[in-house]
Chains A and B, each alone.
Chain A
């Protein structure tokens, strides 16, 4: 199946710093990528939908100025957590939709996730 990578897999930072997370589709082009956040033993919460070449669509309650999303190419989307605080510590997962016909229609392939710890 399609492969989605994320970098970094782990990041520890000080409160107030910004952290950038990259999501790449390795063997397919993704016009749409999704960013989720998952707290321990909880479900995935969609944060935003990232569309190549246009502004991201944020879910209700997600601050777009705090979680900056850039989808500059068909294989790369980035999520920047600005001025991170301890409550932003979470597991951030991206997914990309492969519409090329190589797999089930509209399947979302998930990246391995990035664990963020803000001290």
Chain B
């Protein structure tokens, strides 16, 4: 079945440093979504990427979808303590109404 791998599992950064998490699917995706889960909280939708090679930005966050629609990345510029949490990618394969397969998540800690 479809597998979505995400690295790194953990990332510790100093406030102000950049952060990147990578997501790779075993199959071509119809779209990919990114979520953020704060400690003790539930996943919150950040963005969805649909087109091959798509790049979207949300303030300090930059999301990319690979040309082959099998990989994606989330980059945070100049991290802040409010960025702490677990970032998940979730891929949807096959038809656009297929289930989401979540990556393992990257736990980000930011030291002030």
Contact = CB atoms under 8 A, between A and B. Distances in A.
Interface of A: 1, 34, 41-46, 49, 60, 93, 95, 104-113
Interface of B: 1, 31, 33, 35, 41-45, 47-48, 50, 88, 90, 92, 96-97, 99-105, 107
B41 A112 contact: yes
Given A105-B48, A106-B48, A106-B96, A43 B42 contact: no
Contacts of A42: 104-105
B99 A43 contact: no
A6 to B, nearest CB: 9
Given A34-B100, A43-B104, 20 more contacts: A44-B43, A44-B88, A44-B90, A45-B102, A46-B99, A60-B1, A95-B43, A105-B48, A105-B96, A106-B31, A106-B48, A106-B92, A106-B97, A107-B45, A107-B48, A108-B33, A108-B45, A110-B35, A110-B43, A112-B42
Nearest to A103: B45
Contacts of A110: 35, 42-45
Contacts of B31: 106
B10 to A, nearest CB: 9
Contacts of A106: 31, 48, 92, 96-97
Contact of A34 (B35, B48, B99): B99
A104 B88 contact: no
Q: Which 5 A-B pairs have the closest CB atoms?
A: A44-B102, A110-B42, A43-B104, A43-B102, A113-B42
20 contacts: A34-B99, A41-B107, A43-B102, A43-B103, A43-B104, A44-B90, A45-B102, A46-B99, A46-B102, A49-B99, A60-B1, A93-B43, A95-B43, A105-B96, A106-B31, A106-B92, A106-B96, A108-B45, A109-B45, A110-B35
Given A41-B107, A105-B48, A46 B100 contact: yes
B100 A108 contact: yes
Contacts of B105: 42-43
B45 A104 contact: yes
